[in-house]
Amino acid sequence: MSFKTVFTPAIPAIIAANAPKIVAQDVNVYYGEKSAIKELSITIPDKAVSAFIGPSGCGKSTFLRSINRMNDTIPSCRVTGKIAFDGMDIYDRAVDVVELRARIGMVFQKPNPFPKSIFENVAYGVRIHGLAKDKVDLERIVTESLQRASLWDEVKDRLAHAGTGLSGGQQQRLCIARAIAVNPEVILMDEPCSALDPIATARIEELISDLKQNFCIVIVTHSMQQAARVSDLTAFFHLGTLVEVGDTDAVFTNPQEKRTQDYITGRFG
Amino acid sequence: MSDHIVKAYDSDLAQLKSMLSEMGGMAEEQLAKAIDALIRRDLKLADSVIAADQLLDAKEIEVEERAVLTIAKRQPMAQDLRNVMVTIRIAADIERIGDLAKNIAKRSHAIYDGIPQRLTKGLERMGQLSQAQLKLVLDAFASSDADKAMDVWRHDEDIDALYNSIFRELLTYMMEDPRMIGACTHLLFATKNIERIGDHATNIAENIYYLVHGYMLKEQRPKNDKTSVTPFSSLNND
């Protein structure tokens, strides 16, 4: 495979400016015989939002899921190449996957709160990872996480109520609170707003901009406008290849690759 | 470039482009008539140019509204976004060209019939040059041809050079015969207007460059208009 990703500009400013958090090198992902990702190399900067865009089946979610080894649960899935997280090879045999997923959290397309109270939804991960010293500490972590997810004011009087009783947008923010409660370094978001209305979407986007002060955020989105609004780095995937990576400002005003241009301007055929 | 999945988006952009071409055609006609009216002191023609300017103004507003609507409805990206932005800017330049043509036409009233023909020779030449530049740059826009646009951009120098020499020439006439001062002053303003029309043509050229390449032209345009920095006394000494 001799495919080469185009960088817009040659070294995107955000990659040059921020520390690298995740560095993928020559990554291939296979589902059985089928190759889903081909020779992918990318550096994902810390304390920034990176967006993966591309048509359905382009491999963006597959790659996102290989960053915290969610693909391990699919028996036929095989990953080659190297994905380094703070320099550590995440596919190294010595890696504890549970611990890895605590450091690289994930938020899914459909909000999926546990069928438990709002409090328990956030406290659960903290407890199983043994991150709280005592009950007071646990309450502090839950409160802070809900505050950071901008949900606190809406739920502080009903923490014992079921998480599933919240609205869709609130549920998604609850899932984000749950993800950040275990103090991750990276948050992966797989179309976090596609099931939400525009107001709830705007809240999540506002939250994403807040969170990038402290986290490395990677978001897969079908909404190009959303990628343009929230991200610093944009990566365009097509047919399992990473076609173009660049500063979001450059990619959406002056993409270098024809395929990127066709996709973001709505010409793809 | 291939078509959009949403066909109506294509027709929105196509309509913007044809509206702008129409504006360009109107401006070309206005400029040609204005210069003709001034040279031949055809007051009827001049008045028709003055009256027609409001059509151009109305067209500009129409283009702008259409462009804003397209942004609101389609959220254009990349080349499409540049296309819409550039359309708005070019429409403004064309509208200004129309204003300047109108001003040239107005001066037909102020110049009396008896002035020697040689006085308007330079202006005629300059008018032809600016009309050619305007036509070329509008063609370049129609075909999204950045190289052609750059030709226009470079050749504005010629208009500037001609303006320089007309400026000197008219001053000489004024010094020779003070009765000419009134007419010559108006001719001077008319040539200055033409010189500025040339500048608008280069603005349009720069926008075409941006449309095609995705970044602004950084180079400085070669300029040859020295009339604003030359002291009056030194004009006839070299």
pLDDT tens digits along A171-195: 999 999 999 999 899 999 999 998 8
Contact residues for B172 (Cβ-Cβ < 8 A; gap 6+): B236
- CA angle A149/A230/B209 to nearest 5° reads 170
Q: What percent of chain B has pLDDT over 90?
A: 77
B215-230: per-residue pLDDT in tens? 998 888 777 777 777 7
Using a CB-CB cut-off of 8 Å, the residues of chain A touching B146 are none
Distance CA B93, CA B223 (A): 19
Looking at the predicted structure, is the pLDDT value of residue A20 above 50? Answer: yes
For residue A19, which phi and psi values (nearest 5 degrees)?
-65, 145
Digit-coded pLDDT (tens) for A71-118: 988 999 999 999 999 999 999 999 999 999 999 999 999 999 999 999
Residue B16, min C-alpha distance to chain A (Å)? 17
Query: Where do the domains of chain A lie?
Result: 6-264
Say if strands A6-8 and A241-247 run parallel, antiparallel, or are unpaired.
parallel
Exposure b/e, B83-122, CB count within 10 A at least 16 = b: bbbbbbbbbbbbbbbbbbbbbbbbbbeebeeebeeebbeb
Strand partners, A235: A52, A245
Phi, psi torsion values for A82, nearest 5 degrees = -130, 130
Indicate yes or no: CB of B2 within 8 angstroms of CB of A264. Answer: no
**Nearest Cβ partner for B2 among A228, A252, A267:** A267
pLDDT confidence of residue A2: 53
B107-160 pLDDT, tens digit each: 998 887 667 777 888 999 999 999 999 999 999 999 999 999 999 999 999 999
Give the side-chain half-sphere CA count within 13 A for B184.
Answer: 19
Cβ atoms B135, B27 nearer than 8 A: no
Residue A1's pLDDT band (boundaries 50, 70, 90)? Answer: very low
pLDDT recorded at residue B223: 76
Top-tier CATH class for B7-234: mainly alpha
- pLDDT one-digit tens code per residue, A195-228: 888 888 998 999 999 899 999 999 999 999 999 9
Q: Is B6 on the interface with A (CB under 8 A)?
A: yes
Scanning every residue of chain A, which has its alpha carbon at the shortest distance from the alpha carbon of B210?
A254
- Please report residues of A whose CB lies closer than 8 A to that of B80: 265
Which CATH code is given to the segment(s) A6-264?
A: 3.40.50.300
pLDDT in tens, A31-65: 999 999 999 999 999 999 999 999 998 999 999 99
Whole-angstrom Cα distance, residue A55 to residue A66?
18
Cis, peptide link before residue B222, omega less than 30° from 0: no
Of A264, A268, A269, the CB nearest to B77: A264
| Stretch 49-88 of chain B: residues touching chain A, C-beta under 8 Å | 74-82
